[in-house]
């Protein structure tokens, strides 16, 4: 006779197929040297379908057409797998594709699959992803409105408009900052942002040194960090080129403001030298490209043990925000999530869009899985054929 405990075990939920839909048309400007165009795809939505009729959704930060190609490569590895075992399944995908390159398109695509598998596990168990990750430390968190840097007058106006919408924390980045090789312009932009945000709002600055052919180095970053201190900037992000680990470590030691970075890294193994060398105060993996929730949570706990703060990089879609919210609920010291200001892919694809409360914070859904649902008709504005995501 089977015990009651054994009888309660969930039967496998088998993956039948995985689909990806590239997003086009309204990608927010990135401030990149090669600026994003309407015909470019930099994000994709992934759907994992199963034999039990449960579908999980994820988000990927890369060209959606690359994700579609990656799924063809990965299909022999995920077909028929148990969707209730996200860490084992996605590690299988990582381990068996090493020869095609670690950290690129395949890793980004696996990120979306992993997020969707955690969504399925939550839906099958009736639990939020945050609870599945070990417990809920909070049910709401402060979003910081992530905005492209502008010339000073425009920067003031943009910050003021989002402050009027209820945001109380802001990050400004990329655009003309540093690129103009004009330290007076850099300071004028930050001054305008601080004036518009007000003294009580939190303000962060992202140099965006992972952009193509970043022209500046350590000494600029050190001088700029001193300037940022005068405007009560909470962190200085990507201040030097993304592979300059020794410069990061030295800057962290001498900077009066915290140093943040690592959004370009993928897989947990890549973060080890950054933590052991003390290169950052704040580590910023992106759940939609680092390897998914399975990798992100390992990095977050590893950072915690090194005394480094984890705040996820979240320049992606509403599903990326949903994953970041669940992660924020599951770790003791996460107090912020990134939220792109004015992105159609954040504000315009969910059945129930995110809404700020009176203090400018976001509630963390305590519903099964990621706790959000995609609106098919809304999504159809941004992808040629959303049907495979819902069939």
pTM of the predicted protein model: 0.96
Question: For strand 309-310 and strand 169-173, is the pairing parallel, antiparallel, or unpaired?
Answer: unpaired
d(CA 309, CA 280): 9
**Across the chain, what does the average pLDDT equal?**
96
Query: Rounded to 5 degrees, what are φ and ψ at 195?
Result: -65, -40
Closest CA to 324 of 348, 341, 300, 307: 300
* Residue 63 scores a pLDDT above 60: yes
The full DSSP string for 110-145 is HHHHHHHHHHHHHHHHT-BHHHHTT--S-SEEEEEE
pLDDT digits (tens, 9 = 90+) for 302-350: 999 999 999 999 999 999 999 999 999 999 999 999 999 999 999 999 9
Let me know: does 238 contact 260? Beta carbons within 8 Å: yes
User: What is the strand order of the sheet 56-60 is part of?
Assistant: 15-22, 44-50, 56-60
d(CA 279, CA 70): 33
Strand ranges (E), 149-211: 169-173, 202-206
pLDDT digits (tens, 9 = 90+) for 18-62: 999 999 999 999 999 999 999 999 999 999 999 999 999 999 999
* Residue 1 scores a pLDDT above 50: no
d(CA 180, CA 83): 49
Distance (Å) of CA 160 to CA 38, 176, 201, 276, 388: 26, 19, 11, 40, 40
* Residue 212 scores a pLDDT above 60: yes
Strand ranges (E), the chain: 15-22, 44-50, 56-60, 140-148, 169-173, 202-206, 233-237, 259-261, 282-283, 309-310, 336-340, 362-363
Closest CA to 235 of 190, 192, 297: 190
Let me know: does 197 contact 234? Beta carbons within 8 Å: no
d(CA 3, CA 385): 47
pLDDT digits (tens, 9 = 90+) for 119-152: 999 999 999 999 999 999 999 999 999 999 999 9
Q: Which residues pair with 48 in a beta bridge?
A: 18, 56
- Contact partners, residue 129, CB within 8 Å, separation at least 6: 118, 119, 121, 122, 293, 323, 326, 330, 369, 370, 371
Let me know: does 170 contact 161? Beta carbons within 8 Å: no
pLDDT digits (tens, 9 = 90+) for 98-125: 999 889 999 999 999 999 999 999 999 9
Question: For strand 169-173 and strand 140-148, is the pairing parallel, antiparallel, or unpaired?
Answer: parallel
* Residue 8 scores a pLDDT above 70: no
The full DSSP string for 251-263 is HHHH-SS-EEE-T
Dihedral sign for Cα 216, 222, 227, 233, please.
positive
* Residue 373 scores a pLDDT above 90: yes
State residue 229's pLDDT score.
98
d(CA 95, CA 288): 19
d(CA 179, CA 195): 22
Please report which confidence band the pLDDT of residue 228 belongs to, taking 50, 70 and 90 as the band edges.
Answer: very high
State residue 191's pLDDT score.
98
Higher local confidence (pLDDT), 112 or 1: 112
d(CA 200, CA 128): 33
Let me know: does 28 contact 340? Beta carbons within 8 Å: yes
Closest CA to 254 of 270, 240, 265, 273: 240
pLDDT digits (tens, 9 = 90+) for 183-211: 999 999 999 999 999 999 999 999 999 99
State residue 241's pLDDT score.
97
State residue 384's pLDDT score.
93
Domains of the chain (ranges; CATH) run 4-129+377-390 (3.30.390.10), 134-374 (3.20.20.120)
């Amino acid at each position: 006779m089977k015990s009651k405990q054994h009888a309660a075990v969930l039967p496998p939920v088998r993956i039948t197929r995985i689909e990806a839909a590239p997003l086009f048309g309204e990608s927010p400007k990135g401030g990149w040297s090669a600026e994003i165009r309407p015909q470019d795809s930099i994000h994709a939505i992934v759907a994992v379908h199963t034999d039990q009729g449960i579908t999980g959704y994820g988000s990927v930060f890369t060209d959606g057409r690359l994700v579609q190609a990656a799924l063809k490569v990965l299909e022999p590895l995920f077909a028929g797998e148990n969707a209730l075992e996200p860490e084992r399944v996605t590690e299988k995908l990582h381990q068996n594709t090493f020869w095609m390159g670690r950290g690129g398109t395949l890793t980004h695509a696996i990120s979306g699959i992993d997020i969707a598998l955690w969504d399925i596990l939550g839906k099958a168990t009736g639990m939020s992803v945050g609870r599945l990750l070990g417990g809920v430390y909070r049910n709401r968190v402060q979003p910081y409105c992530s905005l492209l840097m502008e010339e000073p007058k425009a920067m003031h106006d943009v910050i003021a408009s989002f402050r009027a919408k209820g945001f109380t924390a802001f990050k400004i980045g990329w655009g003309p900052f540093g690129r103009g090789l004009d330290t007076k312009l850099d300071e004028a932009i930050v001054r305008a942002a601080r004036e518009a945000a007000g003294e009580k709002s939190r303000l962060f600055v992202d140099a965006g040194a992972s952009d193509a052919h970043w022209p500046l180095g350590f000494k600029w970053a050190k001088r700029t960090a001193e300037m940022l201190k005068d405007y009560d900037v909470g962190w200085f992000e990507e201040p030097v080129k993304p592979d300059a680990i020794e410069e990061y470590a030295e800057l962290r030691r001498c900077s009066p403001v915290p140093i943040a970075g690592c959004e370009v890294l993928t897989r947990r193994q890549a973060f080890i030298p950054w933590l052991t060398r003390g290169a950052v105060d704040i580590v910023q993996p992106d759940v939609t490209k680092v390897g998914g929730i399975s990798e992100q949570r390992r990095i977050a706990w590893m950072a915690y043990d090194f005394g480094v703060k984890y705040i996820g990089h979240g320049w992606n879609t509403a599903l990326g925000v949903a994953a970041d919210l669940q992660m924020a609920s599951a770790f003791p010291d996460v107090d912020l999530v990134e939220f792109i200001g004015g992105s159609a892919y954040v504000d315009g694809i969910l059945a129930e869009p995110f809404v700020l409360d009176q203090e400018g914070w976001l509630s963390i859904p305590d519903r099964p899985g990621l706790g959000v649902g995609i609106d098919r008709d809304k999504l159809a504005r941004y992808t040629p054929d959303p049907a495979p995501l819902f069939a």
